[in-house]
Structure 1
Amino acid sequence: MTLPAYEVFTEESATPVIRSVPLAHLSVELGHLYMDDFEAGPAHLLDQFRLVAPWAAAARGITAAELPERSTPRISTCFLIDDYFSRFSTPDKVVAMLASTAAEAGLEIDYVARESGCAVAEGVELARIVEHHLVSEPPEGATGSRPPVSESGWLTNGERSPTTGPGSAMSARPEWRPPRQSAVKNHSIFLDIELWREEAGDRLWSCPFLAAVWQLQRLGLVRHLGEPVAPPRMLSLDELPSDWDALPPVVQLNPDAAPFRAYRTFSVLGARFLPIEVAVRTILGQVAIAAPIEDQLRARARGERITLPGEFVDRIRYAFM
């Protein structure tokens, strides 16, 4: 989905110059770390990385095969840490443990990112920017009884079953109608996704919505006033802070790494993430990317003789373990 050329994927209405970002051919996500994973200990993480390693190698081989002859694949790896829904240990200890455990499994983590950096990054409300570019279309026959996503915080891929209030004792029971997916093929797969909720006056973003922001960041499709948001900051393991708020949203650990953002992404995740990523793809299917950003990216791809799918969501690939 693209916007007209005069609109820009930023939170301002002005039209700034769109700055390009370095792009790898592929961004490989080696996993997510949540508190329960951390509490399970290094042995658990090592087992996970050993399962991930063959998939990461396969992704590298597929990417190399898809590129034009004599092209050298630019492939970077990344890892996302949940510091949004729960804070555990300290970043210096957590990141050092991740890097050493991954190395033991034959993997190198080029970039580490904070999940809270998908909500607010260096003072920029990144999640709000993406929210403002949701374009949800009302289903056929909609009556307006359901508030828009901007008010409800809920996004759907179709039409819900109608709700009926209590009727009189003698009235006929209203006929039930099933939900229906938009652009359905044979049978509906209906989704109703919570994007956020308000708690004590503050907005708590949902995991699927932050994961959608994460994918947009990895694909290089987000700008604020024409500038990329949260560029990676180079830090060695010895330089990592002990406070999560002092850790940059994206940290580059490998000085020789290919760019963080890429034409395509590939994520190796546990099966528990499958429902979340289905929601992510549904959300991204209703995000409008500004034409100047998409045109710039496609022109660069053509310059490298790379053919990209028409819909940006189809540039995202997965392996679920």
Structure 2
Amino acid sequence: MNQPVASFRETSAEPHTASVPFSHVSLELGHLYMEDFDEGTTRLRRHFATARPWADAVRAGTEARLANGRARVSTCFLIDDYFSRLSTPDRLIPPLLDAAADAGLTIDYLARESGCAVAPGVDRSELHLAESVLHRLVESPPPGGNGFRPPVSRTGWISNGRRAPAQRTSAALDSAGTTWQPPSETTARGHSVFMDVELWSGSGEERTWSCAFLASVWQLVRLGLLRDNGRAVLTPTPWDDREFPTEWDDLPPVVRLNPRAEPFTAYSTCSVLPIRFLAVEHAVRVVLGQVHLEAAVLDQAMSRSEREGFTVPADIADRTSYVFPPGL
């Protein structure tokens, strides 16, 4: 009879997973390109005036889910400083905050999109956040797949199902009805909505991450589900009433503008966005459905939300929601 083998491990060798505070909802009040800011303050005021009633509805809906009706909702705004930098923080941010205030909205946290690609790490090192998420992708095998498709780490593309064959593979396929097969969605209900998502272009140091992939990182950050060797990432830096710098790289990736704000990370997210982001956010859901995260990190959000009576879905993508108001 075999005897059980005892395994001993020093407590100090166990990786520690940092805990983060959670709001119930992280409400994104917008994500604009630099070109949008070039349209001036009228464009900004129209944006926030349109977003205001939807933001109120999200807050009211969150309160309705809680027995005590006391919802923790933090607001955030993402600025695209990754794909273009047509203005500077000191010129762009004050009019943005004024336009939000004119609509009766407060931006608690301001984030830079470039921080979702590379952010400051510990000991003045760089944290390649997008690349770390890339290494966490585990592609869902499509029905009938034969393993021929190269991994996402090589191709830079990820899909939600089986792609259509690119070419005939033998003369036997020339017979009627066998020369082409349609793509198919892995979790299709009746009919497929197939999507193939490009994660980056270029290679090496010239690699440019796609908007869809950076938006996926942004969602994971807001959900408090990313760690760097157990440490929390993109922890907000208090900014208070300091003047904004003249260079984007001098502004932390995430700043807390409201000292009384609820926590930046949240059990769930809601984003109020222009309709042009619909395809991007569909792609985000495809990516989030194939990200492998540490069990300890997932358990933090699940167990704490359950204790508050605000249970979140096990599927990460289902913790995100969107509003695409007309006219935004």
**Normalised TM-score (structure 1):** 0.90
Query: Where in structure 2 are there 5+ consecutive unaligned residues?
Result: 1-12, 121-125
Aligned residue number for residue 45 of structure 1? 44
Alignment partner of 1:213 is 2:217: yes
Q: Give the Cα separation in 2 of the matches to 1:20 and 1:90.
A: 34
CA contact (8 A) 1:31 1:268 kept: yes
Residue 317 of structure 1: how far off its partner (Å): 1.1
**Normalised TM-score (structure 2):** 0.88
The equivalences for 1:139-158 within 5 A come to 139-158=142-161
- The counterpart of 2:82, out of the listed 78, 81, 84, is 84
Alignment partner of 1:186 is 2:190: yes
Between stretches 89-98 and 188-197, larger displacement belongs to 89-98
- How many percent identity over aligned positions? 51
Aligned residue number for residue 63 of structure 1? 62
- The counterpart of 2:179, out of the listed 157, 175, 180, is 175
Query: Where in structure 1 are there 5+ consecutive unaligned residues?
Result: 1-13
Q: Give the Cα separation in 2 of the matches to 1:237 and 1:213.
A: 28
Higher relative contact order (CA 8 A, sep 6+): 1
Alignment partner of 1:54 is 2:53: yes
Q: What is the CA deviation profile of residues 188-238 of structure 1, one whole-angstrom value per residue up to 9, with x for unaligned ones?
A: 111000001225742111000000000000000000011111100011353
For the aligned residue pairs, the C-alpha RMSD in angstroms reads 1.8
Aligned residue number for residue 253 of structure 2? 249
What residue identity is the alignment partner of 2:162?
Answer: E
CA contact (8 A) 1:268 1:318 kept: yes
After the TM superposition, which parts of structure 1 deviate over 6 Å for at least 4 consecutive aligned residues? 171-174
CA contact (8 A) 1:96 1:237 kept: no
What residue identity is the alignment partner of 1:52?
Answer: A
Whichever of the two has the greater Rg, that structure is 2
Aligned residue number for residue 9 of structure 1? none
- The counterpart of 1:313, out of the listed 304, 312, 317, is 317
What residue identity is the alignment partner of 1:68?
Answer: A
Between stretches 54-63 and 182-191, larger displacement belongs to 182-191
Residue 25 of structure 1: how far off its partner (Å): 1.1
The 3-state SS of whatever aligns with 2:153 is helix
Residue 300 of structure 1: how far off its partner (Å): 1.5
Residue 270 of structure 1: how far off its partner (Å): 0.8
Distance 1:192 1:56, change over 3 A: same
Aligned residue number for residue 8 of structure 1? none
Q: Give the Cα separation in 1 of the matches to 2:278 and 2:267.
A: 22
Q: Give the Cα separation in 2 of the matches to 1:17 and 1:167.
A: 54
The 3-state SS of whatever aligns with 1:301 is helix
Residue 40 of structure 1: how far off its partner (Å): 0.8
